[in-house]
Structure 1
């Protein structure tokens, strides 16, 4: 089965493209070329790497705005590359994963990936996912006023959340999820609602929300195994609850 499903290459981007650099990491030369062609057509500046070590070297030499990376790579796999990226940088990462391999997707999300696209994939869908992730990570849109809630201070335009004055090291999706919940405290959301509001997906793998919530709790909760802020509403989903924090 082909890894990509090609079609017309005319794509208009709603995201400012000046100096937006995408690193494509894929060992299959044909797939890499197709992805590059579509991203070029959308106006992005594209660089390429064929394996995990080359990707890390490219990132160290010049940090891209976003990485599109195959989950299975020679040398070190995409999930491990993502983990290493997360130790020093907050670069949005989209993983390309095998169709039907939920374990690969969950492993990638737990490693810090912001999104994933399953193979075989439509390059047009990939470009839309790139635009969606960049749209959330860029700060060039209408600014929102900072606000405080309990011990947290949210600066939406700067994409910063502080707890008692200390910034939290959140990935792009972790920030999006936490900021959304901070704006809607004491309201329970289903995973479907969060997938639509935070990821902008009308449908998708709900484990994406579950894994991102788990990672977020590890950075927000005193005891992630007993969450008091990002609480589970059984039979519904999740709720941000700061009653105990502000008492």
Structure 2
């Protein structure tokens, strides 16, 4: 049974979503504040987290940022903020999707199911091909090829590429990427710009034209995202 951590300080929302999600067969755990939510991410190990942005102690954005330091658990944000900037900020922080309040509980259930289907599909895939086979990543062998030619990536470059490729469209700030690769011994607070050098080198190796990249895209003022299109026919599920 898949476990969902539901984080909201509004009792009525907890009760309604819990009822709907339990009806679909999910095991529900709840928290009404950010500190408790962070603890339960570690003790419960949920398969998905539904996170309200307006919490009484620390913001949902901060909870999301802290969770993302150690976990790739999918996060569905609940927000009363309907502005484009607020939604973009949530995605940049690491959310996988968002629902704006007021919402339909059925919509939340559908979005939860969609996210978990994507995660389940990704977990079964051991080789990814993008843009008609132009770029291929073999997770088991830790190999990358471009147009069938093996590309020699450094451990840092490989981590940057796989983290972004497995989450296409998600915007990563430089600090996000540093945190993903810090176990390679290059994480130093204040040196976010060093990511730019690694991205530049990675582009030279995997892009047909590094000045007009198709895979590692710059999101001005925010960071980077993966722009490749997954070849569905070449995924092993």
TM-score bracket for the superposition, by shorter chain length: 0.5 to 0.7
2:110 maps to what in 1? 128
Question: Which secondary structure state, in structure 1, belongs to the residue aligned with residue 14 of structure 2?
Answer: helix
- Number of aligned positions between the proteins: 177
Which residue, 146, 171, 188 being the options, matches 2:127?
146
Alpha-carbon displacement from aligned partner over 1:134-190 (angstroms, at most 9, x marks no partner): 00111498x5562566785244xx8x996836344637xx6242xxxxxxxxxxxxx
TM-score where L is the length of structure 2: 0.62
Taking only aligned residues, the RMSD between alpha carbons, in angstroms, comes to: 3.5
1:50 to 1:146, Cα distance in 2 relative to 1, 3 A: same
Structure 1 residue 100 displacement after superposition: 2.2
Q: Which structure is higher in helix share? A: 2
Which residue, 79, 82, 87 being the options, matches 1:97?
79
2:17 maps to what in 1? 35
1:230 maps to what in 2? 216
Query: Which segments of 5 or more consecutive residues in structure 2 lack a partner in the other structure?
Result: 145-151, 178-197, 204-210, 219-225, 230-237
Structure 1 residue 59 displacement after superposition: 0.9
Give the whole-Å Cα distance in 1 for the aligned partners of 2:113 and 2:173.
Answer: 23
1:161 to 1:103, Cα distance in 2 relative to 1, 3 A: farther
Give the whole-Å Cα distance in 2 for the aligned partners of 1:104 and 1:147.
Answer: 32
Which residue, 162, 166, 174 being the options, matches 1:175?
166
Alpha-carbon displacement from aligned partner over 1:204-242 (angstroms, at most 9, x marks no partner): xxxxx5xx2x42898583389x7734358xxxxx9649x
1:215 maps to what in 2? 172
Runs of 4+ in 1 over 3 A off after TM superposition: 147-152, 160-163, 165-169, 216-220, 226-232, 238-241
Q: Tell me, yes or no, if the aligned pair for 1:27 and 1:50 is still in contact at 8 Å.
A: yes
1:110 maps to what in 2? 92
Q: Does 1:52 align with 2:34?
A: yes
Query: Which segments of 5 or more consecutive residues in structure 1 lack a partner in the other structure?
Result: 1-18, 178-208, 233-237, 242-247
Structure 1 residue 101 displacement after superposition: 2.9
Q: Tell me, yes or no, if the aligned pair for 2:122 and 2:166 is still in contact at 8 Å.
A: no
1:108 to 1:145, Cα distance in 2 relative to 1, 3 A: closer
